[in-house]
């Protein structure tokens, strides 16, 4: 008699397990990647894991307020990633950490992060743009049923794979058009499943989300997308500022713009707002957007 098939683990459970690093030694951690068929490790996963590694070396009451990272080599999802943390400084208010991710004996990623105790101070922020609420937009199931049947294979595969984060773009034009468009986009994002009410973990999930859809925006002005097989596309660096805590239990608006593309690099900025318009985090990223050589 054949064994009954195992029930697939919910994608959010897989993500939380992926972020739960194994401690090997003081300041040394091991992370693993879910086996989902990707040829390289998703950049948001490496950012999130590196942030978890850094967080585990700071006092519990200090929370990340910024990180600055460089991607140096593509990650291999078939082998573990070793995260080595350097405790740069522990001050009275701030703590600084440097994390290097290593595979096959070489650094694939490096990140510096700064942590701070909560303090009161001045308050201001940009306003959230006026966009349709997520409930008025097509959900992923509706997208699959109405739009994906006509979509290119690469886009169809991307949307059909179970993911821990649901994405609802305010506009779908760039997915199906070769027209040159304004290099801006607004995307609603939401965790699919519960994220524990713990600020360090919530920040790591937010860091994971911050690498989603961002580089795409730099290609809209050129009538193409990350699904174009004639392009070589990869994140080069990533910076993030955490302005306010966020419980990750509702939709967030990720509003993005790309002020420049030059030298086979595209630069994009992003702002993450909660539903009520509170600015949660700011992001900046430069990525490789290179046309592949043709014979």
32-59 core/surface letters (b: 16 or more CB in 10 A; e: else): bbbeeeeeebbbbbbbbbbbbbbbebbe
Contacts of 100 (CB under 8 A, 6+ apart): 83, 84, 86, 107, 109, 110
- List the one residue out of 49, 109, 106, 113 whose CA is nearest residue 235: 109
Catalytic residue among 211, 216, 228, 274: 211
Mind giving me the DSSP string for 82-100?
EEEEEEEEE-SSEEEEEEE
Would you tell me the crossing angle of helices 43-55 and 11-19 to the nearest 10 degrees?
A: 50
Q: Please, what is the angle between helix 43-55 and helix 199-210, to 10°?
A: 160
> Would residue 114 show up in a list of annotated catalytic residues for this protein?
no
Phi, psi of 140 (to 5 degrees): -65, -35
Closest to 262 (Cα-Cα) out of 283, 288, 230, 237: 288
Q: Would you mind telling me the total number of residues written for the chain in this entry? A: 295
55 is known as an active-site residue: no
Tokens 């009451």 found at: 61
Closest CA to 271 of 253, 249, 289, 285: 253
Could you say which of 33, 210, 271, 285 is catalytic? 285
Question: Which residue out of 33, 202, 225, 235 is catalytically annotated?
Answer: 235
Indicate if 274 belongs to the active site. no
**Phi-psi category of residue 216: left, alpha or beta, with phi > 0 → left and psi -120 to 50 → alpha:** alpha
Which positions are catalytic?
A: 211, 235, 285
């Amino acid at each position: 008699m054949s064994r009954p098939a195992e029930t697939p683990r919910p994608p959010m459970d897989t993500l939380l397990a992926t972020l739960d690093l194994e401690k090997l030694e003081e300041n040394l951690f091991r992370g693993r990647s879910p086996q989902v068929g990707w040829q390289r490790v998703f950049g948001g996963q490496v950012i999130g894991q590196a942030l978890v590694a850094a967080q585990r070396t700071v006092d519990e009451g200090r929370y990340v307020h910024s990180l600055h990272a460089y991607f140096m080599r593509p990650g291999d999802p078939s082998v573990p990633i070793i995260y080595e943390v350097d405790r740069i400084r522990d001050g009275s208010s701030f703590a600084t950490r440097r994390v290097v991710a290593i595979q096959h004996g070489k650094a694939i990623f490096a990140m510096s992060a700064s942590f701070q105790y909560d303090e009161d101070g001045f308050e201001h922020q940009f306003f959230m743009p006026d966009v349709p609420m997520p409930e008025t937009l097509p959900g992923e199931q509706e997208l699959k049923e109405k739009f994906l049947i006509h979509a290119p294979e690469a886009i169809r595969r991307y949307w059909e794979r179970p993911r821990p984060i649901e994405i609802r773009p305010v506009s779908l034009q760039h997915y199906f058009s070769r027209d040159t468009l304004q290099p801006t986009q607004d995307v609603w994002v939401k965790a699919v499943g519960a994220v524990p009410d713990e600020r360090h973990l919530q920040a790591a999930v937010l860091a994971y989300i911050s690498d989603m859809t961002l580089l795409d925006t730099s290609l809209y002005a050129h009538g193409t997308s990350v699904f174009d097989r004639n392009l070589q596309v990869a994140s080069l660096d990533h910076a993030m500022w955490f302005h306010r805590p966020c419980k990750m239990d509702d939709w967030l608006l990720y509003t993005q713009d790309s002020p420049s593309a030059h030298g086979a690099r595209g630069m994009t900025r992003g702002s993450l707002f909660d539903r009520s318009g509170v600015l949660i985090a700011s992001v900046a990223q430069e990525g490789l957007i290179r046309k592949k050589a043709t014979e």
